[in-house]
Amino acid sequence: MIQVTSERIRNVAVVGHGGSGKTTLVETILHLAGATTRLGRVDDGTSILDTDPEEQKRHITINLALASFIDDGVKVNLIDTPGYADFAGDREAALRVADAAIVVVDASAGVQVGTQSAWDDLDHRGEPRIVVIARLDRENADFDATLAQLRTAYGIRVVPLHVPVGSHQGLDATIDLLHGTLQRGPKDPPAPTPETERERVTAYRRLLVEAIVETNDALLARYLEGVELAYEELRDALHAAVRVGSVIPVVALSALRRVGLRGLISTIVEMLPSPVESGAVLGIAADGTEVGRRPEAAERFSAFVFKTLADPFVGKLSYVRVYSGTLSSHSHVYDVMKQESERVGQVFFLRGKEQEPTETVVAGDICAVPKLTLTVTNATLADREAPLTYPPVEFPEPSFSVAIEPASAADLDKLGTALHKLIDEDPTLHVHRDDATHETILSAIGESAVEVAVHHLKNKFGVQVETRTPRVPYRESIRGKASAQGRYKRQTGGHGQFGDCWLEIDPLPAGSGVEYATRVVGGSVPKNFFPAVEKGVREQALRGVIAGYPLSDFRATLVDGSFHSVDSSEMAFKIAGSLALQNCVKSAGAYLQEPIHEFVVTVPEEQMGDVLADLNSRRGHVLGMEGAGSGHQRIRAQVPLAETFRYATDLRSMTGGRGTFTSRLLGYEECPSHIAQKVIAAHVAETDSAP
């Protein structure tokens, strides 16, 4: 590939709703530009970018994919992103390193949930964008209606730049409103605008020109005086306006019919900013001060790792954006987070899985580095003598969880390593061990993301796991005081075992945990056995008494006991302490507590009723409602965790994917008696059936 300068690079994320045609568009552009020798297809599993077996099976994009091409000496790095919410983490990673975005909208569907989600992300970042109204060859496609919907949703800054000629199967050209020329096939020369389109083009061009001149006072004054503005003036003003987001041009096309692609490529090259125009990127230096690095070769080297792929055959592959200086193959870099040097072997540019070796990567460019030992996603690579740290990708929090269990002993041996690699590859996955239920919990953004993770464990890392709904991490507690004896006596051929102790237990306020004290007089229990009794009490509290869940919020006091000068031992008193606690709890009014979460649910106003009714059916208690902008309402509610394990899937179904929520643990409340009885009965049955 030709080496280009930072000024002649465009880093563009391709975003939009799932199934809107993003991957098809990117693959068609690559083929048209001569960057690939064949045209991949998503629907038949021949995609060049969707190479994961799960992507090919589901016909959707799961992982972001890099692809680049050269046009008129400008290198364009396209980052194809997932459109489905379950895999939104890769969209966040792509937007973190892109300088601009293409928002793809299906002309037959208009603005969809994924469109709005991507748009909100871009607004949050203040990122420049262009809109592509794609799939205009479809029977129910309507450019005019889709453009009107975009302008209603996002304002008059959304204006047409290239409009279609013909519709559906009759679509055969687009018209460039700035040039006033018609473009048929991507290799056909531009032609004059047909007279039949003149009136329509004039109306659309007025929208475009008025949007441009309103961003430039000098042009506005001349326009109002009736002066005909030159193409170069409008082009330069539009480029400046797109860069700051005050104008968002719309391009019409059909990737399958190869109509409008030439116009899109020209718009990317001419209108979207280079890394140099995007300016210095801010990081935090070693002394805590903010420092900016410009995309120049003379600057100290710095780069950011925004994606990691773990391939069991090829090894680890790190996707890197170089922000300053240059990255060379067969060199060393400094991982600021790990505070370790990493050796860089060969460096590649990527097109899906295709790797193109390069010796040098200039500031502003994106590449892949294989086999970095310690480096993971969100790492900053820098010059050891001038380290700094770039802000991490803000990945979405998981909202759907399952308990996983290895299918065999061999799987158990490999599970830990496989999970570590899986999380390196997808930081939206979280894994933790629940001490209350003794389960390994795998959490992701949604149910599909969990399914894909489980398939990756099996197919990529050779680990088979079984999944189930997690158990609720209940807690046990007591209402009143009680005292009881724990006596352990066992006679064997030699020395026997003897331990005897009396405990008193008292309830404590919620959140107090377990407290232990001694009030023994007269030496009835020697002091050297006090720790053994405490250990027995605390271990039994962890195991629980009535339902197998941790017992909490009480104080246990050792008050009396007896011992044998020969047979007493630490083990005997540990068992005695455990028995004493069990006997105390039977008389102390034991009960179950269940975890209560605060849910903050944001939904469209028209779906408020359904969501509120659903929360009530889950034993939820609504605390309040408030406006959340853009026709949405925010609901705050307290809901028992036991009722919410499938809430992410159910909310998406209820709201067509437009509802979102966050949750956090508030505390524990007493579990209703009918539910507690079932939990206790299940524990007793499980205990009785155990060998």
Decide if 642 contacts 596 (C-beta within 8 A).
no
CA dihedral 644, 649, 653, 659 (to 10 degrees): 80
User: Mind listing the pLDDT tens digit for each residue in 294-324?
Assistant: 999 999 999 999 999 987 777 899 999 999 9
Q: Which long-range contacts (CB under 8 A, 24 or more apart) does 230-236 make?
A: 231/178, 231/179, 234/178, 234/209, 235/178, 235/270
Q: Distance between CA 310 and CA 411 in Å, rounded?
A: 19
Q: Which long-range contacts (CB under 8 A, 24 or more apart) does 541-544 make?
A: 541/514, 541/581, 542/435, 544/476
Topology, domain 592-674: Alpha-Beta Plaits (3.30.70)
Q: With cut-offs at 50, 70 and 90, classify the pLDDT of residue 468.
A: very high
Decide if 140 contacts 312 (C-beta within 8 A).
no
Beta bridge partners of 159: 249
666-681 as b/e: b if 16+ CB within 10 A: eebeebeeebbeebbe
User: Mind listing the pLDDT tens digit for each residue in 199-257?
Assistant: 999 999 999 999 999 999 999 999 999 999 999 999 999 999 999 999 999 999 999 99
Q: What is the pLDDT of residue 353?
A: 86
Q: What is the pLDDT of residue 511?
A: 86
Residue 7 has pLDDT above 80, yes or no: yes
Q: What is the pLDDT of residue 493?
A: 65
Mean pLDDT along residues 495-506: 93
Pairing state of beta strands 554-562 and 514-518? Answer: parallel
Q: What is the pLDDT of residue 690?
A: 62
Q: Which helix (H) or strand (E) holds 406?
A: strand 400-406
Q: Which amino acid is at 244?
A: V
User: Mind listing the pLDDT tens digit for each residue in 359-387?
Assistant: 999 999 999 999 999 999 999 999 999 99
Would you give the end-to-end CA distance of the chain in angstroms? 67
Q: What is the pLDDT of residue 352?
A: 87
Q: Centre a 10 Å sphere on the Cβ of residue 353 and count the other Cβ atoms it contains.
A: 14
Topology, domain 401-468: Alpha-Beta Plaits (3.30.70)
Show the CA angle centred on residue 17, arms to residues 13 and 21, nearest 5°. 75
Mean pLDDT along residues 628-649: 92
Q: What is the pLDDT of residue 496?
A: 86
Q: What is the pLDDT of residue 2?
A: 63
Mean pLDDT along residues 561-575: 93
Q: What is the pLDDT of residue 668?
A: 93
Q: With cut-offs at 50, 70 and 90, classify the pLDDT of residue 574.
A: very high
CA dihedral 251, 181, 266, 268 (to 10 degrees): -30
Q: With cut-offs at 50, 70 and 90, classify the pLDDT of residue 40.
A: confident
Q: With cut-offs at 50, 70 and 90, classify the pLDDT of residue 491.
A: confident
Topology, domain 281-389: Elongation Factor Tu (Ef-tu); domain 3 (2.40.30)
Q: Distance between CA 14 and CA 100 in Å, rounded?
A: 9
Mean pLDDT of the chain, nearest integer: 94
Q: Distance between CA 442 and CA 371 in Å, rounded?
A: 26
Tell me the torsion sign for CA atoms 40, 46, 48, 54. Answer: positive
Show the CA angle centred on residue 79, arms to residues 73 and 85, nearest 5°. 160
- The HSE-up count of residue 639 (CA atoms within 13 Å, CB side) is 28
Show the CA angle centred on residue 621, arms to residues 620 and 622, nearest 5°. 115
Residue 394 has pLDDT above 90, yes or no: yes
Mean pLDDT along residues 100-121: 95
For 422-466, the DSSP string reads: HHHH-TT-EEEEETTTTEEEEEESSHHHHHHHHHHHHHTT---EE
Q: What is the pLDDT of residue 691?
A: 62
User: Mind listing the pLDDT tens digit for each residue in 354-366?
Assistant: 999 999 999 999 9
236-246 as b/e: b if 16+ CB within 10 A: ebbbbbbbebe
Looking at per-residue pLDDT, the higher value among 455 and 313 belongs to 455
Q: What is the pLDDT of residue 390?
A: 97
Tell me the Ramachandran region of residue 178: left when phi exceeds 0, alpha when psi lies from -120 to 50, beta otherwise.
alpha
Token couple for 111: 């603005």
Decide if 13 contacts 81 (C-beta within 8 A).
yes
For 63-127, the DSSP string reads: S-EEEEEEETTEEEEEEE---SGGGHHHHHHHHHH-SEEEEEEETTT-S-HHHHHHHHHHHHHT-
Decide if 512 contacts 549 (C-beta within 8 A).
no
Q: With cut-offs at 50, 70 and 90, classify the pLDDT of residue 185.
A: confident
Q: What percent of the chain has pLDDT over 70?
A: 99
Q: What is the DSSP letter of 195?
A: G
Domain 281-389 shares a fold with domain 475-588: no
Pairing state of beta strands 388-389 and 281-285? Answer: antiparallel
Q: With cut-offs at 50, 70 and 90, classify the pLDDT of residue 44.
A: confident
Mean pLDDT along residues 103-113: 96
Backbone φ and ψ of 154, nearest 5°: -125, 5
Q: With cut-offs at 50, 70 and 90, classify the pLDDT of residue 436.
A: confident
Residue 1 has pLDDT above 80, yes or no: no
Q: Distance between CA 380 and CA 338 in Å, rounded?
A: 9
Looking at per-residue pLDDT, the higher value among 494 and 214 belongs to 214
Mean pLDDT along residues 80-108: 97
Q: Distance between CA 628 and CA 248 in Å, rounded?
A: 25
- List the helix and strand counts (H, then E) for the chain: 17, 36
Show the CA angle centred on residue 539, arms to residues 535 and 540, nearest 5°. 115
Q: With cut-offs at 50, 70 and 90, classify the pLDDT of residue 475.
A: very high
For 459-482, the DSSP string reads: HTT---EEEEPPPP--EEEESS-E
Pick the CATH number of 475-588 from 3.40.50.2000, 3.40.50.1370, 3.30.230.10, 3.40.1260.10: 3.30.230.10
Q: What is the pLDDT of residue 315?
A: 81
Q: Distance between CA 492 and CA 397 in Å, rounded?
A: 57
Q: What is the pLDDT of residue 38?
A: 86
Token couple for 143: 């450019």
- Tell me the domain boundaries of the chain: 6-278, 281-389, 401-468, 475-588, 592-674
Q: What is the CATH number of domain 6-278?
A: 3.40.50.300
